[in-house]
Structure 1
Amino acid sequence: MIRDILRGRHVTDPDPRGLRLRGARIDGRLDLENITSSMWLELTDCFLELGVNARDADLKGLVLSGSQLNHPTEPPLDGTRLSTTAVFLDRTIIDAHAAEGAVRLFGAHLGGLECDGARLDNDSGPALYAERLHVDHDLFLGGDFQATASGDDVVLDLSSTHIGGVLVLNPNSLQHRTHPHHKLRLDGLTYTGLPREVTPDQWLALLRHDTIDYAAQPYQHLAAAHRAAGHDHEARQVLIAQRQDQIRRRALTGRTARTWARLTGLLLGYGYKPWRALIALAAVLTAAVLAAVVLGGAYGALTQIRTPPPATPVPCTWLEHVGVGLDLGTPLLTTGTRTRCDTTNTGPGHTLTIIGWTLRLLAWAFATLFIAGFTGAVRKT
């Protein structure tokens, strides 16, 4: 009967507000598959014994507020490729035993989706399967929304979903009986601004710890949202977290690539903190100066250069020790001190020479890393 009314049968002058039922019990499965209707369907506080099949339907709007939907094997609400201006599931209770999801909105096109206060529970699969869902305006999964899943899939699958408005999500609303951290699949998800009802740190924690596998796109999209809001520091933190997650989940192939990523993370913050390389370079220069002062003073590794050579070596001054140390540790630049003070042909002198070679090599490496980080070359890799 409901299907026929939505198709314009049995009613010559339909209510412009649509078909509205409250507190009704609907036995069997409500079949709306392939239907096209210009009427709203509003089922408030109803009990649908076997749920709703709205596959490939084109409806004005669908309201299931406060209703209860069940099905022993199929999704209680199957909206695969459903097209409608809005779906209201606020306070809706859905109990499912379906691998395809408690609510299935694969490829659907909705004006908006309201799930505040809904309870989706599936003991055999995801709570909400919404891959390739297109929402023109807002997607509300906040308030007292609760979603529970089981099995090997995630609680919410929003992969390749486009949200034209804001995403509202309560981070504490997602539970997985089998795998506690298999909460989200978000690769390809886009939305406007920053997610609501979840702090930036909470959203970042969800990406790092509660997604089923590594994907770069959710991090990149979040970083772009932060930049658009003028949050440059937060954007950098997101991109650093992306690289850390990529390494942790072994998304980088090859030991060399992972080693390089860890090295640039330590020394450059993956290219977003190039000042770390400058600190390392300063440490090298300090070590070079200390080596020159200690070995050149107490151990006679340095002597003044005079013409003709004196019978007894003349120790260099403290300032000359510092100059030699800077010359040993600084790439390209020189103080000219080594024309007046240089290493002796002794054990300590040879030791200082070897230390100088090593420190200069490190200085070159840190200087090169700084340039690579400053210019963004490391970030591009």
Structure 2
Amino acid sequence: MAAARSGTQLDLAGEGSANPTEADEWDPGRTIPAAAVRAALLTKGLDPDPRGLRIRGANIIGALDLEHATLPCTLTVTDSRFNEPVLMKGLACRQLVLTGSHTPGLNLDGATITGDVFLTGGFTATGAVRANGANIAGQLNLRGATLTNPDGNALNLDGATIAGGMFLDEKFTATGGVRALGANIAGQLSLRGATLTNPHGYALNLDGATITSDLFLDEKFTATGGVRAPGANIGGVLNLRGATLTNPDGDALNLDGATITGGMFLDEGFTATGQVTMKFATLNVLVGSDKPPGQLVVTGWRLGDIHGGLNDPKTMTSWLDAVPAKEFALQPWHEAAAVYDRQGRPTDAKRLRVAAARRVTARSKLPTKLLRTLYGWFAGYGYYPLLAGVWLIAAAIMAGTLTFFFGATQALTGGAPLDPGLYGAAVVIPPAAGIIPSSWTITSPLWLAWTLIALKAFGWLQTAILIAGLTGLLKKN
């Protein structure tokens, strides 16, 4: 109580050990009953110093129970050991600092902290750290903390509101899930260099969370277990450069329905073992590497712009080819092609759409596959209607060649000499049919007559395709 009133630190370590792992060897005089801390903080008329109660190097025994308490000052307990979980459900406090301390667990569910929460500098928890529904007006800082709860969630922030950003970086380590479903984080969420391990579940779960600034999962961020943020709203960038995500039996990264207003960076060393799914995600900017990060599921995605390796249509094709066969859809291809159109690259856009049409053909049943293959040959799936003109010329040359070698003697006696080249063009190209004199009639050999009839039908078909393409009536795909 005297320390709280004066604002001086109650330093029980002095020049001795301040490592909580050695608490069992500390002098018994460094032991404080948790009930004494509670009694001091809740004493009426305490009139504490603005710096609050500050304790260092203490061995606090028993459960520190401050559930639903309203503290008149900040609480700072550093380099100390709690031998039982810290109970602060519904706590109202100006600031909470547990830097360098060790505890079997911490419950801040529904707490209201009008300043910051610091669980930094070697803070260790061997049970769950919870702050479901908590309202933290400052930052939540766990830089360098180690949380261990392998059979459950190491950190649970479902529904929490954190106004000053959240920092789980600088070698932050969690064994067990880290989750913040529906949390509202004003500012950035940083897990740079963090190591998350939850092989039997999701290492990081941000379903429906709102992050008003950036989400950093970069600089050797490692997750064993899935990283998911379906339906999340990220107001800044999502940076996964250099991240390693491992969940071979499921989603390594799940962003289904997420909205990322800034850029999403999946380049410069990003790797994923497992599926990367972004169904119906809205990505203002996507920056990708020269190789796909793994299996992709991107049906329904919306892209504002693309950069990096994805600016190369071949790279984009390789990314979209990384989709499992059962998840194939045309929409992702056409969405990427639309980006190329907006970039002023219609040729690249067309190539991407044709590549998509070819993959639809490859997956079609036999009768449809045959028709689509012919449509691809003759009209480039509607994207290259001038191919029909090429086929017309080829058919005319064939008709003229056959006429030259096998039909030149078939002109009727007294008629004009047969011109095989002109005759071939007139047979195949409908507008030229009227230039054939009546004496230019091929009746034998019979196979040649029928071949020329077939070429004429083919010519009509190609002419129709050509006219439809040039007038915009030709259906794509």
TM-score using structure 1 length:
0.80
CA distance in 2, matches of 1:171, 1:243: 31
User: CA offset at residue 6 of structure 1?
Assistant: 10
| Alpha-carbon separation, structure 2, partners of 1:172 and 1:358 | 58
Pairing 1:263–2:263 present? no
Give, in whole Å, the separation in 1 of the partners of 2:467 and 2:203. Answer: 52
1:9 aligned residue = 93
Match of 1:333 among 432, 441, 460: 432
Structure 2 unaligned regions, length at least 5 = 1-65, 67-85, 97-112, 277-291
d(CA) in 2 for partners of 1:304, 1:22: 108
SS in 2 for 1:154: strand
Find the aligned partners of 1:7 and 1:118 in 2 and give their Cα distance. 36
Q: Distance in 2 between matches of 1:372 and 1:17?
A: 68
**Which sits farther off after the overlay, 53-62 or 370-379?**
370-379
Q: Residue by residue, what CA displacement relative to the aligned partner does 1:77-117 show, whole Å, maximum 9, x if unpaired?
A: 22322222322111111122234x22222222222211112
Residue 283 of structure 1, CA deviation: 0.9
Counterparts of residues 44-83 of structure 1 (less than 5 Å): 44-50=143-149, 51-60=154-163, 61-71=165-175, 76-83=177-184
Shift of 1:198: 4.9
The structure whose Rg is larger is 2
Post-superposition offset of 1:357: 0.8
Report the counterpart of residue 400 of structure 2 in structure 1. Answer: 289
CA distance in 2, matches of 1:205, 1:368: 35
Q: Aligned-pair distance for 1:225?
A: 1.7
How far off is 1:236 after superposition?
Answer: 1.6
Q: 1:222 aligns with which of 336, 354, 358?
A: 336
**Contact 1:43–1:65, Cα closer than 8 Å, also in 2:** yes
2:255 matches 1:146: no
CA distance in 1: counterparts of 2:422 and 2:218, whole angstroms: 70
1:137-156 Cα shifts (integer Å, max 9, x gaps): 221112x22112211x2322
1:354 to 445, 450, 461: 450
Residue type of the alignment partner of 2:475: V
Aligned 1:176-187 pairs, distance under 5 A? 176=273, 183-187=295-299
1:189 aligned onto 2:301: yes
How many angstroms does 1:372 deviate by?
4.3
Q: What secondary structure, in the 3-state scheme, does the structure 2 residue paired with 1:205 have? A: helix
Measure how far apart 1:273 and its partner are.
2.1
- What is the count of residue pairs matched by the alignment? 353
Identity %: 17
1:95-114 aligned at under 5 Å gives the runs 95-99=197-201, 101-111=202-212, 112-114=214-216
Q: Distance in 1 between matches of 2:423 and 2:273?
A: 64
Name the counterpart of 2:412.
Answer: 303
The answer to whether the Cα contact below 8 Å between 2:301 and 2:332 also exists between their aligned partners in 1 is yes
Please identify which structure carries the higher strand content.
Answer: 2
Q: Residue 287 of structure 1: CA displacement?
A: 0.7
Residues 260 and 191 of structure 1, relative CA distance in 2, 3 Å threshold: same
Give me the CA root mean square deviation: 3.3
Instruction: Using structure 2 for the length normalisation, give the TM-score.
Output: 0.65
- Structure 1: gaps of 5 or more residues: 307-314
Q: Higher relative contact order by CA 8 Å / sep ≥ 6: 1 or 2?
A: 1
> In 1, Cα distance between the equivalents of 2:361 and 2:207?
31
Q: Would the aligned equivalents of 2:123 and 2:146 in 1 still touch at CA under 8 Å?
A: yes
For 2:123, which of 2, 24, 31 is the aligned residue?
24
CA distance in 1, matches of 2:91, 2:315: 46
C-alpha deviation, 1:18, in angstroms: 6.0
SS at match of 2:174: strand
The one-letter code matched in structure 1 to 2:335 is H
Confirm or deny: 8 A CA contact 1:169 1:197 kept in the other structure.
no
> Contact (CA 8 Å) 2:379, 2:465: kept in 1 or not?
yes
